[in-house]
């Protein structure tokens, strides 16, 4: 069995291991022990009850293999980006120019540096140890964030967005970065990505070109990857799209990976999450696989287990004693759940 829970200080070594395996491009999971330690502390503080409005809180989840007592995956939510440090993206603008004599029509795109997502909540840091893929843990990690949002909507912004890792080749080279960013930063993609991942993005505003970039001036290798996800991020993008996230003409400034967004109330799993009173039983009748969360902030955790509805529309569910122990709930406590019949193979 695995459990998804808030990160703890004792998870640091496992997180460093996972970050090293994630490689470049996953900016929010840097292979830097000091930065990860800071994010653990920020998450612990964010999960506390000392809270006043939407701020730059950070909710960091891990999936733990209970049998091995090992962290095997991560996901996170930034409650509100861009309020302390600027949050940059490229906005894609379409431009058509027409000449009557001679009769010529030219269509092109412009990339304009933007702060459109300042104040939005960001889904981030979705990563799973490759040994656990196709087990359902990755999808559970993703959906666990929505259960927190459904439990505490006041802690998040109305607009939720996610940056999807952009395309790089087998050597970690980004054609987009090599055509654009490298000319202004004078460094390799991996180095710029590392600096940004450590939370130092002031250099972006200092060095990025302030005027729009005509994509027609870029080599085909760079144009072809604008909005193209990394092969390892295809599944993550599909999960987001199934939840109702849509492309709105924005890409990451480093690797041109796609950015998707949704209104928090329109996210499928947020809308479908159901609160219920739990009853713990020794022998569970035939149940329906579901993600069940203990929604209390001081003990928030999620597991994927069968549940049985009690008396149809009574607002109560049955779970077995072992699952209740892992969740830290007892009969009479409130939980929140999502059916997971469609969550296999991710």
CA distance 166 to 230: 5
Q: Mind giving me the DSSP string for 236-276?
A: HHHHHHHTT-EEEEEE-TTT--EEEEEEGGG-HHHHH-EEE
Indicate whether 302 and 236 sit together in one domain. no
H or E segment to which residue 92 belongs: strand 89-99
The per-residue pLDDT for range 241-253, each reduced to its tens digit, is 999 999 999 999 9
User: What local confidence, expressed as pLDDT, does residue 313 receive?
Assistant: 62
Q: Which two tokens stand for residue 269?
A: 């799993």
Indicate whether 293 and 241 sit together in one domain. no
Domain end (from 237, 268, 299): 268
Residues 86 and 201 sit within 8 Å (Cβ to Cβ): yes
The per-residue pLDDT for range 281-337, each reduced to its tens digit, is 988 877 789 999 999 988 999 999 989 887 656 688 999 999 999 999 999 999 999
Indicate whether 221 and 141 sit together in one domain. yes
CA distance 278 to 332: 6
The answer to whether position 26 is within a domain reads yes
Point out the residues that are catalytic.
Answer: 230
Indicate whether 150 and 218 sit together in one domain. yes
Share of the chain above pLDDT 70, in %: 92
Q: Using the structure block, give the residue that is written with the tokens 């829970």.
A: 5
Indicate whether 262 and 293 sit together in one domain. no
User: What local confidence, expressed as pLDDT, does residue 192 receive?
Assistant: 76
Indicate whether 82 and 225 sit together in one domain. yes
CA distance 303 to 250: 34
Which residues constitute the domain of residue 212?
Answer: 2-89+115-268
Q: CB-side exposure of 338: number of CA atoms within 13 Å?
A: 30
pTM, full prediction: 0.89
Indicate whether 119 and 195 sit together in one domain. yes
CA distance 187 to 210: 19
Closest CA relative to residue 26, chosen from 60, 87, 75, 82: 75
Q: Tell me, what CATH number does 293's domain have?
A: 2.40.40.20
Indicate whether 147 and 279 sit together in one domain. no
Domain end (from 247, 268, 289): 268
Residues in the chain: 346
């Amino acid at each position: 069995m695995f459990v998804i829970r808030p990160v703890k200080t004792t998870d640091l070594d496992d997180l460093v291991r996972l970050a090293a395996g994630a490689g470049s491009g996953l900016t929010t999971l840097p292979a830097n022990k000091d930065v990860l330690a800071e994010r653990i502390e920020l998450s612990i503080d964010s999960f506390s009850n000392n809270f006043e409005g939407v701020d730059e809180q950070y909710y960091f989840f891990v999936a733990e293999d209970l049998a091995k007592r090992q962290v095997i995956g991560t996901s996170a939510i930034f409650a509100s980006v861009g309020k302390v440090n600027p949050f940059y993206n490229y906005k894609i603008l379409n431009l058509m120019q027409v000449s009557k004599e001679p009769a010529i029509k030219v269509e092109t795109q412009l990339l304009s540096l933007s702060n459109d997502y300042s104040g939005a909540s960001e889904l981030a840091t979705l990563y799973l140890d490759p040994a656990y893929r196709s087990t359902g843990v990755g999808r559970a990690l993703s959906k666990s964030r929505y259960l927190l949002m459904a439990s505490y909507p006041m802690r998040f912004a109305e607009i939720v967005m996610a940056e999807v890792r952009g395309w790089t080749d087998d050597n970690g080279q980004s054609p987009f970065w090599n055509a654009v960013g490298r000319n202004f930063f004078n460094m390799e993609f991996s180095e710029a990505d590392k600096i940004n991942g450590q939370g130092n993005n002031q250099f972006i505003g200092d060095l990025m070109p302030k005027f729009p970039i005509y994509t027609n001036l870029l080599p085909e290798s760079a144009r072809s990857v604008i909005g193209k996800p990394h092969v390892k991020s295809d599944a993550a993008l599909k999960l987001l799209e199934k939840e109702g996230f849509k492309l709105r003409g924005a890409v990451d400034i480093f690797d041109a990976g796609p950015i998707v967004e949704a209104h928090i109330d329109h996210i499928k799993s947020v809308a479908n999450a159901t609160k219920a009173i739990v009853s713990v039983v020794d022998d569970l009748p035939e149940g329906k696989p579901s993600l069940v969360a203990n929604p209390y902030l001081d003990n928030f955790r999620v597991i994927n287990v069968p549940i049985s509805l009690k008396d149809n529309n009574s607002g109560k569910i049955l779970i077995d004693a072992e699952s209740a122990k892992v969740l830290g709930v007892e009969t009479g406590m409130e939980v929140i759940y999502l059916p997971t019949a469609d969550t296999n193979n991710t």
